[in-house]
A and B are shown apart, each in its own frame.
Chain A
Amino acid sequence: MKRITTGNEAVALGALRAGVKVVTGYPGTPSTGCIEHLLTMDLPGRHVEWSTNEKVAFEIASGAAWAGHRAMCTMKMSGLNVAYDALISIAYSGTNGGLVIYVADDPGVSAGMAEQDSRGFARMAQLPMLEPVSPAEAYGLVQTAFELSEKTGSPVFVRLTTAIALSRAAVEAGEPVPPREIDPILERDIARYTKAGAAICQDQHRALISRLERAAAFICEVGLNRLDLSDRPGGLGIVAVGGVRAYVKEACALAQSTGTDRGSASALSDVSILHVVTPVPFPRDETGELLSHCGTILVLEELEPYVEREVHVLAHRSGWAGRIVGKLDGTLSPIGEYGVDEVRRGLAAAREGTVPATEVRSSRFAVQGTKAASRPITVCAGCPHRGTYLAIEAAIERAGYSKSEVMVTGDIGCTILGMNPPFDLLWNEVSMGSSVGLAQGYVRAGLKTPVIATIGDSTFFHGGIPGLINAIQHRVPLTLVVMDNGWTAMTGMQVNPGTENAFQDGGRRVDLEQVLRGLGVDRLFVVDPYDLEGTTDALVECLQRSADVSAVLARRECAIQATRRGVRHGTTTVDPEACVLCKRCLQMTGCPALSLPVTTREPGSKPSGDGFDKLRKLSAASSDAEEPTTAVDGSSTATSIQIDVAACNGCGLCVPFCPTGALTWRAAE
């Protein structure tokens, strides 16, 4: 049946079509949609779950595959770093049932985290990697990946990039195929499933290499990497890898129509193209044919020049003497996502030896004149984290320090938004759970001021626990703030171990309070972040203590989720008579439910403030505040702060900041 799907959904549908039995993963943009889609379906005889982290997810999938079933594990590129410890070991052991690792990379960094190229991991693990160009191709390639995995006994990667994972297009998808009805394989083979001794490990290394060779033979046999040779030898050869394949034809046509390709009228007909679907194993034979047919080679691949290096090695070894254009000669950048512009740039360089100005990015629209207003991301209206950030700020001040001398480490997820205005509180963001380890490093470095580690619930379960155990064991004086909103929120509200039982779908909740106490946190404060005073008190006590780990568990469900279920905390209202428009509520909370009808200052005038930090002191608030000016179109004048009743959930966090009592809160009935 033809239907509209995203790349992520196509991966899910392809796996179902391949009879997958077990699918595990951890949420991470842009890969999340695959398991999200599976979880909307009724799938008898299969198991789909969000696991605690990617390593656990991969181990579960591997166990199922060792037992003979088809299994898939999904993650974003950062998750592959987590899974990799288990992954490389299992790569050396091989698999029985088809084992597919779906990883989504993010060139261009639309979702944060390192702009890493996961193809490097496939090379290091010597596992085949398939890269679709579209959702439709993803659907088919996932099935090919399972087949390849079982034919060779090798786990197989399927890699998508953001644009393909998230874009939607028509896909022809068949009916799902139920998993095989087999008894799980129980095979006791030390030489295969353990690393007990050098001989075993080296035999496994040999087997790994031979599996990749068999994979190369299979890939060649089914013709995954297509080679289109031109009629005339000696022309340009393009090696187009993965998602970039989509832009080659379009860029060639554009280059010809706009006259930047000053070759003859037959310029396009003498272009040969190798479409690389498998960067690993590198398609040596097809590339060899391309080299012997062409005089110049253009390698088009996003991020690192992995394939390009292979082309150079092959060219060198075969004595080929042409020119290779790509990243290594400086034509193209390893940074960012590739589209038609980058391909045109490469074409121009390959054709003419130089890149004409018309092909340089942004030349037509050099940044000048009016710029768009910046929209720093902040937490949502009613977000409980807002209360935690405000309390940390207040506690630092009350304990006698300034924000500039207290290290507050940050972590992955919504909690990292504390780095942005108006809080400007967090100093760093590394990887899942790193806030806890980094904080200990700052203590060990001899910092005399308090050190605070902040982390969200899912992130803590995922990677924060080992760091905390270390801190407890070594009696590290630091304050851990676990911001528990009950959901893996930033990736779109997935269930995590701490989510309420009602949403566990047969699973059970793991209570963070018990976990913290069980690990040995003796000084634990469980607080409600909507209770600014109570949360601040707890934090001040932590900051004033000098030995051992203290922890604050700030608990309150994600406002988005609560609101979706119709849960309201209260009602916040503004008295327009009492509001003097000092904007302090807005400055302190940055809440998106608060606004002024006034929207701009006049063009050309200088900003009147020095950031949201301005006017922290109540006394200065009224005198420093900018008077309401004319609205954008000069038509209206503000009389008071406005509360967007649709967005406001009545958390009341803005109320204590109003110097005139214009904001009032009452509890929901």
Chain B
Amino acid sequence: MMSCDIVLVGVGGQGVLTIGDLLLRAAFDADVPASFCPTKGMAQRGGPVKVEMRLGREGVGPRIGEGGADLVVGMERSEALKGIRFLKPEGTFILFDHVWTTTGAMLGTDPYPTLEQVTRRIRDATPRSIVLDPAELPSVNGRRAPENVYVLGAILGRSTVGRLLDPKAVERLLAERWPEAEAPNVAALRAGWRSGR
């Protein structure tokens, strides 16, 4: 069976856990074995968040080893650095270049990486990297579409996940769960799917 081990990293409040949750639900509905393992700090918002997902794998533990992920998704520029060590040598890295700065960086007491520094490290690790610019997020009725759904679209469009799970089923799942936000969610998902093409 086809499979995909995924590590998602980001900051609490970006909807990283929701991406994992939607992928898990879509896998469950499609009878694809899957597990979802969240790691989050104690902060409500603004703390580092990691999700490990094992799609299409049965009889394996919830955690992914170093160099074990087919796909690593960084939802935030600085946190993305923490995902690199999980990447397989030929794995895919999707960076959504959102900047969620820290108080220390704002006060000028802590460093915060530049996009160039981060992409250099990603490109040292894999030839397959995709950088998504948050400015590309579509707007629906004057409001920016949700970034996590946009990234979910990119995951489906730019990795093997799109072959494991039916993107149409993910679209239906979004509509079921948030019927009032169907239009922006679908727009975000499709824009993510088309991103970088």
Contact = CB atoms under 8 A, between A and B. Distances in A.
Interface of A: 4, 29, 110-112, 133-134, 163-164, 166-170, 243-244, 246-247, 249-250, 254, 337, 339-341, 344, 361-362, 364-365, 369-378, 380, 421-422, 490, 560, 583, 586-587, 590, 592, 595-596, 598-601, 603, 607-612, 614, 626, 632-633, 647
Contacts of A586: 103, 106-107
A112 B44 CA distance: 15
A369 B114 CA distance: 12
Contact of A370 (B25, B117, B125): B117
A250 B110 contact: no
A647 B45 contact: yes
A422 B80 CA distance: 25
A164 B36 CA distance: 10
Contact of A169 (B34, B78, B117): B34
B61 A163 contact: yes
10 contacts: A4-B25, A166-B37, A169-B34, A170-B28, A337-B63, A373-B110, A599-B99, A599-B101, A612-B103, A612-B104
A373 B62 contact: no
A340 B61 contact: yes
B24 A168 contact: yes
A454 B32 CA distance: 50
Contact of B33 (A170, A362, A611, A647): A170
A374 B24 CA distance: 30
B102 interface: yes
Given A166-B38, A250-B61, A365 B85 contact: yes
Which bucket holds chain B's interface residue count? 35 or more
Contacts of A611: 109
A362 B85 contact: yes
A599 B117 CA distance: 15
A371 B110 CA distance: 11
Contact of A607 (B44, B47, B110): B110
Interface stretch (B64-72, B148-156, B164-172, B177-185): B64-72
Contacts of A29: 42
Nearest to A344: B65
Contacts of B82: 372
Nearest to A371: B81
Interface string B8-26: 0001000000000100110
Given A364-B67, A377-B43, A603-B114, A587 B107 contact: yes
Given A340-B61, A340-B63, A340-B68, A373 B42 contact: no
A603 B28 CA distance: 44
A425 B109 CA distance: 19
Interface of B: 11, 21, 24-25, 28, 33-39, 41-48, 59-68, 78-82, 84-85, 99, 101-115, 117-118, 120-121, 125
Contact of A421 (B25, B84, B104, B111): B104
A600 to B, nearest CB: 4
Contact of A600 (B42, B61, B112): B112
A322 B97 CA distance: 54
Given A340-B65, A365-B66, A377-B47, A607 B108 contact: yes
Given A168-B24, A612-B109, 10 more contacts: A164-B62, A167-B36, A170-B34, A364-B67, A369-B120, A370-B118, A372-B80, A373-B101, A607-B108, A608-B108
A71 to B, nearest CB: 29
A391 B11 CA distance: 30
A614 B78 CA distance: 25
A370 B113 contact: yes
Given A164-B62, A168-B36, A380 B45 contact: yes
B179 to A, nearest CB: 21
A43 B104 CA distance: 48
Given A167-B38, A647-B45, A632 B114 contact: yes
The 8 tightest CB contacts between A and B, nearest first, are A246-B61, A340-B65, A599-B101, A167-B37, A167-B62, A365-B85, A600-B112, A339-B63
A375 to B, nearest CB: 6
B110 A374 contact: yes
B40 to A, nearest CB: 8
A386 B113 CA distance: 29
Given A365-B85, A600-B111, A609-B109, A560 B37 contact: no
B84 A365 contact: yes
A341 B25 CA distance: 28
B104 A246 contact: no
A599 to B, nearest CB: 4
Contact of B111 (A134, A369, A601, A612): A601
B25 to A, nearest CB: 7
Contact of B42 (A170, A490, A599, A609): A490
Contacts of A244: 61
A603 B107 contact: no
B164 to A, nearest CB: 15
